[in-house]
Amino acid sequence: MATNSKFIDYIDEALEKSKETALSHLLFTYQGIPYPVTMCTSKTFQALDTFEARSDDIVLASYPKCGSNWILHIISELIFADSKKKFEYPEFPVLECGDPEKYKRMSQFPSPRILTTHLHYDKLPGSIFKNKAKILVIFRNPKDTAVSFFHFHNDVPDIPSYGSWDEFFRQFMKGQVSWGSYFDFAINWNKHLNDENVKLILYEDLKEDLAAGIKQIAEFFGFFPSGEQIQTISAQSTFQAMRAQSQETHGAVGPFLFRKGEVGDWRKLFSETQNQEMDEKFKECLAGTALGTKLKYDLYCQA
Ligand code: A3P
């Protein structure tokens, strides 16, 4: 598993800033979307317009807590299987986080570069589309996503906590959380799932059959691992394997990032009213759409 000193340094810095940040001051709005002041700045967003994507960039787009670190790990293992070189992250991998100079540094990095992002579709830098980088879009059912997001805030000691699950749920439903509304993110992506160079992967499908998911991801990005290599990567990418290494790979935040890794954990927190509210919201935003069907809401989110 790749050790990840850039990731750890960046997260340590963000946690240090978080210690001094009250929940009421955590978010700032840039072009209509709330972001955490501990990780994003307007200057970096402005500099992002100058970012030049490459056709062989590997873009991983997801709403927070949908499993981006899992996929990132799988991709770095695929690169290792392909090139026999351990993939080291030369920068914190989330495209929109960091200092405004990062895009200049990134222009010097060798290919393939992995760019993870939580930006909504219409906020992605235009060069990603112009230069035809491939984008893997990761989705997870909204109930487990919300619960994972809540725990991340309330379990990591230095990140501002919400007063209660009910309070977090209210803010989540209003889209007043870091990176904005899950539903807006999904509505936007729903219009682009059939675009050239875009592929959807579902957290729950990956849980169901990890090896099959890894094979699909590999094919999409043009890697051709052997059956044996897929088995090895699968064994290294289970929740248990990743959690066991998480302190080493992701620093202090590791065990919180790899918290439970289950489908259906939402049942422990959602009240009946909250279930109904989210079911209504899902219906209003996504029922009958291509993405709505692919999310298998009835299977994963029915009480
Ligand atoms: P939980 O909080 O429900 O455990 P992200 O990386 O986008 O922040 O997503 C984090 C979520 O993905 C966490 O969910 C985490 O446990 C889960 N996750 C990470 N690696 C995983 C794996 N190998 N298998 C299953 N879930 C995983």
pLDDT digits (tens, 9 = 90+) for 230-273: 999 999 999 999 999 999 999 989 999 999 999 999 999 999 99
Residue 2's pLDDT band (cuts 50, 70, 90): low
The set of residues, in sequence order, having a beta carbon less than 8 Å from that of 257 and lying 6+ positions away, is 69, 152, 246, 250
Q: Which alpha helices (DSSP H) does 156-265 contain, by range? A: 165-174, 182-190, 203-208, 210-221, 227-236, 239-244, 246-250, 254-257
Q: What amino acid is encoded at 255 in this protein?
A: P
Q: 148 CA to middle of ligand 1, Å?
A: 8
Q: Please choose, from the candidates 139, 150, 141, the residue with its C-alpha nearest in 3D space to the C-alpha of residue 269.
A: 150
Can you give the residue range of the structural domain that contains 117?
A: 5-301
CATH code of 206's domain: 3.40.50.300
The set of residues, in sequence order, having a beta carbon less than 8 Å from that of 116 and lying 6+ positions away, is 59, 60, 61, 62, 68, 72, 93, 94, 95
Cβ of 115 closer than 6 Å to ligand 1, yes or no, is: no
Is 263 within 8 Å of 142 (Cβ atoms)? no
Residue 31 CB coordination number (10 Å)? 10
pLDDT at position 3: 57
To test the pocket of ligand 1, the residue of 11, 68, 69 to mutate (highest count of ligand atoms within 8 Å of its CB) is 69
For residues 51 and 282, what is the distance between their CA atoms, to the nearest angstrom? 34
pLDDT at position 87: 78
Question: Coil, strand, or helix at residue 261?
Answer: coil
Q: Is the full-model pTM beyond 0.85?
A: yes
How many domains does the chain divide into? 1
Cβ of 190 closer than 6 Å to ligand 1, yes or no, is: no
